[in-house]
Structure 1
Amino acid sequence: MDPVKPTFRTATPSDVPALVALIESAYRGDASRAGWTTEADILDGQRTDPEGVAAVVNDTAGRMLLAEVDGTLVACCQLENRAGHAYFGMFAVSPTLQGGGLGRQVLAEAERLAREEWAAQEMHMTVITAREELIAWYVRRGYVRTGETSPFPYGDERFGLPKRDDLEFELLVKKLT
């Protein structure tokens, strides 16, 4: 199967509802099980909300990058310009399109933008350590596990309802130069 060829653009406020729906479908509930990036086994509740997505869309220090195929939103990611490095987050690919190369294309475009538009030396991201398969995917794309962890925001339902008590994030880093 040839990978789909998306077009990329920066999100606008009118994209927020579609972005929330895409992000939720990629990570939560039964619909997310159609792909391999689901967090449904470790987290219930929401992955994000309109206010959180709107904050990213309106952030002047970054952008929400959209990938569309034939005018339909199929993937997205957050990029934030942070003093010498870029932060990559809120990455979502439509569950039915996962595993076909679309995620690799979005990640490559995010890295290109960070390097060329912001002269970022590195890309940083945090991933839940229990997501070993996802971490392995990033490692295959040049990201390095740092061993630097941060706590999961237990008690803050905006980030979901944990099904286990050992969740934490690990910082992954890739040199862009």
Structure 2
Amino acid sequence: MNNNNIVIGITKKSNRQLCCRAAEIKDVDALVDLINFAYRGTGREDNDKSVQSKGWTNESHYISGKRLTHDSLKPRVEQQNPARALTFVVEFADGNDAERKPIASIGVVRDDDVNAHLEALSVEPMYQSEGIGGILMAYAEEYIVKQWGCRVISMCAVSIRNELLSWYYRLGYKPTGVYVPFHNDDHESRPFVQDIKFEQLSKSFN
């Protein structure tokens, strides 16, 4: 797989270039750390649960447990295929390779010739006001439409995350009316709120 870094945009406040590439095995630990901290507010390497993420994607007030584990993410990265499924990683373009680390990620999956879906958009909480999520979403959409020829992109979001849902609406996603019972195939999670569901959203492209 050609895995060259591609410049996809510039941050809003700090004016730093963002590069995107497909994830590699060396990224798995850093991605697990990033995704769990962004979604569940779990601590870093020591997994100290008293350390809470301040990011607006954080679900720790609604759901306990990790978002995913090394064992659940590693096979996805190993089995990536540019024609079917990829995990994209975003890094700052400045600095040398040794200093770079993932600051955002998203999964893209081709369902068929028309449909694709997005998974686990994650942005390092300290950078969530820099516009990185929107830049990465736009890049993922462009890849799906231009490389795969798909015309409908969907995703699922926790139904009570009104702020997050509103952000997706502003990006052009609309509710499909489909709700899926809460589940997490990657790791045991337990919701604190009754009747929590995943709401499906979709966006069509001409």
TM range (shorter): over 0.9
Cα deviation, residue 62, structure 1? 0.3
1:14 aligns with one of 14, 26, 31 = 26
Cα deviation, residue 33, structure 1? 3.1
1:122 aligns with 2:134: no
TM-score by length of 2: 0.80
Question: Any runs of at least 4 consecutive aligned residues in structure 1 with deviations exceeding 6 A, and if so which?
Answer: none
- Residue ranges of structure 2 left out of the alignment (5+ in a row): 1-12, 42-49, 95-99
1:144 aligns with one of 160, 174, 179 = 174
1:34 aligns with one of 32, 51, 54 = 54
1:66 aligns with one of 81, 89, 95 = 89
1:170 aligns with 2:190: no
Q: Output aligned runs, 1:62-141, within 5 Å.
A: 62-69=85-92, 70=94, 71-83=100-112, 84-141=114-171
- More helix by percentage: 1
RMSD: 1.8
Instruction: Say whether the 8 Å CA contact 1:66–1:77 is kept in structure 2.
Output: yes
Structure 2: which amino acid aligns with 1:147?
A: G
Larger RCO of the pair (alpha carbons < 8 Å, separation 6+): 1
Q: Deviations over 1:93-127 (max 9, x none)?
A: 00100122000000000001001110110111011
TM-score by length of 1: 0.92
2:17 aligns with 5
Distance of aligned partners of 1:145 and 1:22 in 2 relative to their CA distance in 1, 3 Å threshold: same
- Residue ranges of structure 1 left out of the alignment (5+ in a row): none
Task: Name the SS for the 1:90 alignment partner.
Answer: strand
Name the stretch that deviates more: 66-75 or 111-120. Answer: 66-75
Cα deviation, residue 59, structure 1? 3.7
Task: Name the SS for the 1:51 alignment partner.
Answer: helix
Instruction: Say whether the 8 Å CA contact 2:108–2:119 is kept in structure 1.
Output: yes
Cα deviation, residue 2, structure 1? 4.6
Counting matched residue pairs gives: 176
Sequence identity of aligned pairs in percent?
30
Instruction: Say whether the 8 Å CA contact 2:68–2:186 is kept in structure 1.
Output: no
